[in-house]
Copies of this chain bind each other. A is one copy, B any other.
Amino acid sequence: MPVNQQFLLDNRPSGEAVTSNFKLVSSQTAALQEGQVLVCHHFLSLDPYMRGRMNDSKSYAVPQPLGQVMQGGTVGEVVESRSPLFQPGDKVVGMGGWQQYSVVDAAQPGALRKVDTTHVPLSHYLGAVGMPGVTAWYGLLKIIEPQAGQTVTVSAATGAVGSAFAALAKARGCRVVGIAGGPDKCKYAVDELGFDACIDYKLHPDAASLSKALKEACPKGIDGHFENVGGMVLDAVLSQMNAFGRIAVCGMIAGYDGKPLPITQPSLILLSRLKLQGFIVSEHMDVWPEALKELGTLVATAKLRPRESVAQGLEAAPEAFLGLLKGKNFGKQLVKLI
């Protein structure tokens, strides 16, 4: 069996996460038991939710245990199989973690899913046609429930979720306005992702200034918002929401380090009769097939052309992850493992 490089969570961050929270180790992969398969990971997905799990505090998921392999989504290839469900050569998506190989009980529901790479590149099953894409789909379709002609906004617009959100919302006849950091991302959002406009939040020192920019980009107000960030962005968006607006709360990335990020004017929830709803896509597995079908079609027909930031080699994972938390990535953040 091959030698397997792995990243463990060595210690929990106090405040900002740092590379020394992780520890690189290597071990021999275990011999397969009956019903197990060995997967060689091609790509590891890095996602903001991982930061929340690094804390020991209340979270929606069990904290990432110390001394164990960092959890994470992976795509790869079955290299050995003692299960009738998978053959060597099968391309699969799973939760292999921050490591080069994983041994998986093939019959465990949801553990491993075979994917077709004829029209969709393998890596996209970690992004647009994977968890981030379904996340955008759920927030848009099940919480925001937009109507044609309405205006919807999304923060972290050029990320894996934001880019899928744009394609899904455009397909429903919405005006889609993004919020992203820096002129390059904003240009890309409009030129490549189909956003009608994109606001560079880095140009705005406070919520009032950002709010004014949103008002210009959304002259009819905002009917639905998909929140990936929190803090100043959410404050600014709240001030521009139309009556009966819906806000899907998917991420509070700016708050994972423990900095207080209040909603400064919650009375707007009442004044504008808003709905704010938090959700976690893994709790809504029933919608995945429908969502993945639409997302796969959008990618296959080039209506969704997601960008990827690819770090090279497992050793690069911690730095790439910390960069993701600071918005240094451009599109879906991956680590290429082979």
Contact = CB atoms under 8 A, between A and B. Distances in A.
Interface in A258-281: 260-267, 269-280
A250 B273 contact: no
Contacts of A275: 275-278
A267 B252 contact: yes
Contacts of A252: 266-267, 270
Nearest to A255: B267
Nearest to A143: B275
Nearest to A276: B276
A280 B271 CA distance: 9
A230 B270 CA distance: 10
Interface string A218-256: 000000000000100010000000010000011110010
A283 interface: yes
B230 A271 contact: no
A251 B277 contact: no
Contacts of A274: 276-278
Contacts of A249: 266, 269-270
Interface in A280-304: 280, 283
Nearest to A279: B273
Interface centre among A251, A272, A273 (most CB of B within 10 A): A273
Contacts of A265: 260, 262
A58 to B, nearest CB: 6
Interface in A167-217: none
Contacts of A312: none
Given A60-B243, A243-B60, A267 B273 contact: no
B60 A267 contact: no
Contact of A262 (B52, B264, B283): B264
B261 A267 contact: yes
Interface of A: 52, 58-60, 230, 234, 243, 249-252, 255, 260-267, 269-280, 283
Given A252-B266, A262-B263, A269-B278, 14 more contacts: A59-B271, A60-B270, A230-B266, A249-B266, A252-B267, A260-B264, A260-B265, A262-B265, A269-B276, A270-B278, A270-B279, A271-B278, A273-B280, A275-B275
Top-5 shortest CB links A-B? A262-B262, A270-B278, A252-B267, A263-B263, A269-B278
21 contacts: A60-B270, A230-B266, A230-B267, A234-B266, A249-B269, A251-B270, A252-B266, A252-B267, A255-B266, A260-B264, A262-B262, A263-B263, A263-B266, A270-B279, A270-B280, A272-B278, A273-B280, A274-B276, A275-B275, A275-B278, A276-B277
